[in-house]
Amino acid sequence: MNEEHFCGKVSQKAIIVREGKVLITRDSRDEATWELPGGRLNTDEDPRAGLARELYEELGVVLVVEEPVFIGRFHHTRDKSDALAIFYKAIQADASVQFTVDPIEIAEMQWVDQATWQDYTYYDEVKNALEAYFSII
């Protein structure tokens, strides 16, 4: 039997938790859809370190990347590539430090909880990750 192996990018996103709420973001290039902060894993980069790097670049704060909450596959429509998405729980190392958002990456941020997270439109993989997270808390 011939097997075809997955060949694609690795996308890593953070479910940043603070006081029972999760941070969602809206990309500057998409006014309608909300997502979770993060980015792609670079070659030869440790996955958790890579996500921490991406989060620092986007949010300007140090976050502690904890365990994966959800893993899924999706097709990235913007660059027409397949991706493996890993969603990790993360917490801010020092909650007193304010976010310094990169406006090129993030147009808007919002904190949502179990009662409000479904009020927003998400990419399918983000919606699945949030469902998984809120079902286990």
Question: Are 12 and 126 spatial neighbours (Cβ–Cβ below 8 Å)?
Answer: no
Residue 1 has pLDDT above 80, yes or no: no
Residue 38 has pLDDT above 90, yes or no: yes
Q: Report pLDDT digits (tens) over 60-112.
A: 999 999 999 999 988 777 777 788 999 999 999 998 999 999 888 899 999 99
Separation of alpha carbons 122 and 90, rounded Å: 19
Residue 93 neighbours by CB under 8 Å, 6+ apart? 61, 62, 63, 64
The burial of 76, by beta-carbon neighbours within 10 Å (0-12 exposed, 13-18 middle, 19 or more buried), is given as: middle
Residue-level pLDDT at 2: 83
Average pLDDT, the chain: 92
Residue-level pLDDT at 8: 79
Half-sphere exposure of 111 (CA within 13 A, CB side): 7
Residue 113 has pLDDT above 90, yes or no: yes
User: Which residues pair with residue 34 across a beta bridge?
Assistant: 26, 122
Separation of alpha carbons 130 and 15, rounded Å: 8
Domains of the chain (ranges; CATH) run 9-136 (3.90.79.10)
